[in-house]
């Protein structure tokens, strides 16, 4: 006898009486996903943590999905092959979508080297609710010395965003502080109306 598990005819979407609009009104903010991509060592996790602290200080609820942290639980069965990286990003995208639907500002901090995988996550949400931020600075001494193989940006590709909403880059010949970069992203969210529900 064939199993019915995975048969779409037996799976139904359950609607609830409290929806995204009601949750956003309760929180007085709009749910969205800020996807921070960049090379290893570029400061993504630091930026994500400073952003969530800044949002918290403003009374806004956010949650960080950190790529390394998720590999301790949700994605601990995945390696670093192209297929596993794609599944890693897909899972994070699905979780981020749920957080945004809950009305939270979800900050996903992952290398996410492949453009098609990031674009697939963008496609899960209304386009304006997916904000891609790129942190282009990177630290590669070990990889360049040949001590790490399959290292993103050295012998495994990193495909930079083509049209990201926010690019964090040098100003006046110097790198802004992580706090200044976090402020830049939070200011963007404020300008786009995510920090209030109307």
Q: Which residues are catalytic?
A: 112
Q: How far apart are CA 112 and CA 177, in angstroms?
A: 23
- What are the tokens at 99? 């957080």
Which pairing describes strands 32-38 and 130-135: parallel, antiparallel, or unpaired?
parallel
Are 166 and 194 in contact by the 8 Å Cβ rule? The answer is no
């Amino acid at each position: 006898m064939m199993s019915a598990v995975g048969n779409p005819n037996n799976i139904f979407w359950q609607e609830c009486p409290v929806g995204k609009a009601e949750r956003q009104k309760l929180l007085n903010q709009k749910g969205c996903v800020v996807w921070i991509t960049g090379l290893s060592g570029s400061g993504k996790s630091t930026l994500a943590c400073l952003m969530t602290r800044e949002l918290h200080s403003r009374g806004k609820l956010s949650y960080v999905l950190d790529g390394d942290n998720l590999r301790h639980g949700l994605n601990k069965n995945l390696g670093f092959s192209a297929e596993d990286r794609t599944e890693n990003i897909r899972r994070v995208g699905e979780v981020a979508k749920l957080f945004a639907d809950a009305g939270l500002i979800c900050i996903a901090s992952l290398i996410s080297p492949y453009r098609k995988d990031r674009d697939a996550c963008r496609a899960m949400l209304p386009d304006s609710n997916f904000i891609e931020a790129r942190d282009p600075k990177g630290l590669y001494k070990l990889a360049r010395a040949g001590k790490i193989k399959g290292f993103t940006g050295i012998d495994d590709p990193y495909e930079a965003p083509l049209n990201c909403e926010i690019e964090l880059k040098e100003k006046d010949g110097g790198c802004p502080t992580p706090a200044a970069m976090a402020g830049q992203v939070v200011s963007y969210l404020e300008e786009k109306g995510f920090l209030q529900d109307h």
